[in-house]
A and B are shown apart, each in its own frame.
Chain A
Amino acid sequence: MMKKILLGNEAVARGAYEAGVVFASSYPGTPSTEITEALALYPSIFCEWAPNEKVAVEAALGASMAGARALSAMKHVGLNVAADPLFTAAYSGVNGGLVLAVADDPRIHSSQNEQDSRNYFYASKIIALEPADSEECRLFTRNAYSLSEEYDTPVAIRLVTRISHSQSIVQCEKPQVYEQKKYRKDMSKYVMLPVNARTRRSFITKRMTRAQKLADNGPYNKEIIHKDAKIGVITAGVLYQYAREALGTQASYLKIGMISPLPRQMMTDFCQKYQKVYIIEELDPYIETFARSIGITNIIGQKLFPREGEFSAGLIAEKILKNYRPFNYQPEKDLPPRPPVLCPGCSHRPLFYALKRQRLIVTGDIGCYTLGALPPLLAMDSTICMGASVSMGHGVNKVLPNDKKQKVVSVIGDSTFIHSGITGLIDIVYNGGTSTVIILDNSTTGMTGHQTNPACGQDIYGKPAPAVNLEALCRAIGVRRVITVNPFDYKHMYDVIAAEAAASEPSVVIVKAPCKLLHNTTKDPPREVEQTLCQKCRLCMSIGCPSISVQEGQTLIDQVACTGCQACQNLCRFGAIKEKEPL
């Protein structure tokens, strides 16, 4: 056995590797992305970035049906996209083991909402495990494969940001020798016509009844009893760590590792041992609702704890221990906030400046470019979910009066367009919309840390792969006005957007320039402000580039941060911004 220190996500990958997984298909999404990135480092596993989570889960289900062990990882909102295959894969069950690793994001560190995936596992009636540290990430994922095959179900590993993105020590084991199962045609299991689906529906009930026994007697749920404890705590995952940090031996614990189905008998028995039992869980009262439904009453949950955001050991101590008085320095008031920003040289910046100047209605989407909604650009009117820019723009376009109709543009990244923008564009063309879709093609999935995607000509390993031709794709959908522009040719881009927005038919503008952070993107020499020419109009400040600042009345460009993109130079009316002259 080899000890290693791993991220929760890397440990999930390790567990999958140890279980003999050979196929993984995912779409990136914080905080789940590193699972698939880590899987891609094992030569025995074929990994891929799928166009979206629904495709990924279906591909993994196919691999499972064919007899291999497979995995798909996603963030919580990714499971919304993959909910359709999930609910029926719960019926078909598996041949080779199938694991879905799903990472929730309490406190919305890096997402558009906060949702509790445990409800999905309950609703779709599959087995789900929730690890409390990296070692359990490895072990639970490894074991999930035999559970999946034994119970004939997909198994979910439920993660949260503080497990996925925390590092702790893992005891690696040798990989199992897993012999891929034979593929056998079995329509009764995989062709979900009503007649088969009804039979499988009954099977699911039996399966979950059987799994209930495992929840009550298996190795996943554990009592940790301290003899002087006066209170009981029921909790799962990282919350167990916070609870034992806060309460130590003052409490006894029922630590739940299997969150679907939940243990009935064990919970009942545990609650009989203590007068007061606290149920400590973030997000929805999932365990609490279950406990109440089986008639347990001496529990305290959401009446005491917040219904939103992240918990911590401090919060638990404060809520449960009467005399908890932590010391801390008072936070300084009115500190300048530091939200994330578009990087110096970002190819998205000139576009948002142009959109702002043209006072367009901009339905936006999710990616680095969502930052175009922040000051000083403020050039985005909506961001809901991946793909919604295109379809929402169509809705806006359809109902606005004629003089406003031509003011609607949708802004979407290359990865997001492939994920779920294409169907929205079909809607526009098919149903006679006239809005404009702007695809920000920076040749990468930037937001989640530079994953490749089907439009950028490389696979997950960085090897050459066929690239979707976005222009040809849009034309094939029926858009006649498709034009590609370079955002650093500002004037041209500006005019094209004005013309396309005004056109009374659907149009697509592809704004193409590679992300400056990609290793092979060339950078130009930094720019400099010629102070004698600068009229201090501060126009260059309005594009929100973090490398431009005003110090003691002078506008200066940070020579380390500047990538020489010329977004500021293109705007300066006095020719004061130039390439730094060689000494």
Chain B
Amino acid sequence: MKESPISILICGVGGQGTILARKIICEAFFNSGYDVKASEVHGMAQRGGSVVTHFRAGEDVASPLIEDGQADIILAFEPLEALRFLPKLKRHGQVIVNSQKIMPTSVLIGEFTYPTDIFNKIQTATDKIKIIDALDIATKAGNTKVVNVVLIGVLAKMLSVSKELWLKAVAASVPLKYQELNIKAFELGYNI
């Protein structure tokens, strides 16, 4: 395992469950023998605000932060946030974006307009974009709250870590009574 670290940037809106997503990713990579580092800012202050988590794995990871132009993958829980963090993406890096829009208050009160052509803008930057209606899939899994785990499923499919370890990581990161639901959400995302 001698390779430069893999960097995944997770962005979204506070309350969407990016922290659980980070936990699962860390666990999966850690169990496959990588050095891992992840960083985010906690606190209720972030609720409803723009949130971002940096995740890096490799043989020896120094910085917990992803520099501009260094993310192999951006996993965006919300389209506007994908666009906001696009400068973090590597040239021709992969973007996975949940299509469910969440209007910021700056838009609700009419100070700003929500950009209309987000997916096109991302597409002009990189040809590797995957648009997922994770809310719809989560509803099919049985609960709108598992949007995060659906997206982890989509991400997992693109990475070298074995599916078995992903499933173990999901199971280890959620309360027992929600395990079945989350595994289902993961599978639906994974098998898209």
Contact = CB atoms under 8 A, between A and B. Distances in A.
A146 interface: no
Contacts of A343: 15, 47-48
Interface in A299-353: 312-314, 326-332, 334-343
Interface string B36-78: 1111111111111110000000000111110111100000000
A411 B121 CA distance: 44
A336 B113 contact: yes
Contacts of B112: 334-337
B86 interface: yes
A541 B43 CA distance: 26
A331 B108 contact: no
Contacts of A34: 42
Given A336-B113, A338-B104, A31 B41 contact: yes
B103 A549 contact: yes
A247 B86 CA distance: 25
A30 B107 contact: no
User: Range of interface residues on chain A?
Assistant: 35 or more
Interface string A352-390: 000000000000000010000011100000000000000
A220 to B, nearest CB: 19
Main DSSP-derived SS at the A contact region? loop
A31 B65 CA distance: 17
Contacts of A342: 48
B134 to A, nearest CB: 14
A328 B41 CA distance: 23
Nearest to B144: A560
Contact of A314 (B42, B44, B47, B67): B67
Contacts of A544: 105, 108-109
A5 interface: yes
B14 A340 contact: yes
Contact of B84 (A335, A376, A447, A560): A335
A326 B81 CA distance: 22
Given A335-B84, A338-B106, A313 B65 contact: yes
Given A165-B42, A375-B111, A560-B144, A339 B63 contact: no
Interface stretch (B87-95, B149-157, B174-182): B87-95
B80 interface: yes
A375 B67 CA distance: 32
Contacts of B144: 560
Contacts of B109: 375-376, 541, 544
A244 interface: yes
B73 to A, nearest CB: 14
A294 interface: no
A245 interface: yes
Contact of A313 (B36, B47, B63): B63
A340 B37 contact: no
Among B27, B50, B88, B144, find the residue whose CB has the most chain A CB atoms closer than 10 A. Answer: B50
Interface residues of B, number: 57
Contacts of A334: 112
A450 interface: yes
Contacts of B15: 343
Contacts of A484: none
B125 interface: yes
Contacts of A168: 35-38, 61, 64
A449 interface: yes
A446 interface: yes
Among B43, B88, B112, find the residue whose CB has the most chain A CB atoms closer than 10 A. Answer: B43
Contact of A448 (B40, B43, B50): B43
Nearest to B50: A338
Contact of A238 (B42, B64, B87, B113): B64
A31 B63 contact: no
Contacts of A331: 84, 86-87
A88 to B, nearest CB: 31
B114 interface: yes
Nearest to A315: B67
Nearest to A336: B112
Contacts of A110: 41-43, 45-46
B9 interface: no
A169 interface: yes
Contact of B38 (A167, A341, A368, A449): A167
A312 B111 contact: no
Interface string B99-133: 00001111111011111000001000100000000
B44 A332 contact: no
B83 interface: yes
A338 B103 CA distance: 9
Contacts of A526: none
B36 A5 contact: yes
A244 B45 contact: no
A449 B30 CA distance: 27
Given A162-B39, A336-B113, A326 B14 contact: no
A327 B69 contact: yes
Nearest to A167: B38
A165 B87 contact: no
B188 interface: no
A241 interface: yes
A335 B112 CA distance: 8
B8 interface: no
A449 B86 CA distance: 29
Contact of B44 (A337, A449, A549): A449
B44 A368 contact: yes
The 8 closest A-B pairs by CB, nearest first: A340-B49, A336-B112, A328-B69, A30-B43, A338-B104, A314-B67, A245-B63, A245-B62
14 contacts: A5-B36, A31-B41, A165-B39, A332-B115, A335-B84, A335-B112, A336-B112, A336-B114, A338-B105, A340-B46, A341-B48, A342-B48, A447-B43, A546-B103
Interface of A: 5, 30-31, 33-34, 109-110, 133, 161-162, 165-169, 238, 241-242, 244-245, 312-314, 326-332, 334-343, 368, 374-376, 446-450, 541, 544, 546, 548-550, 560
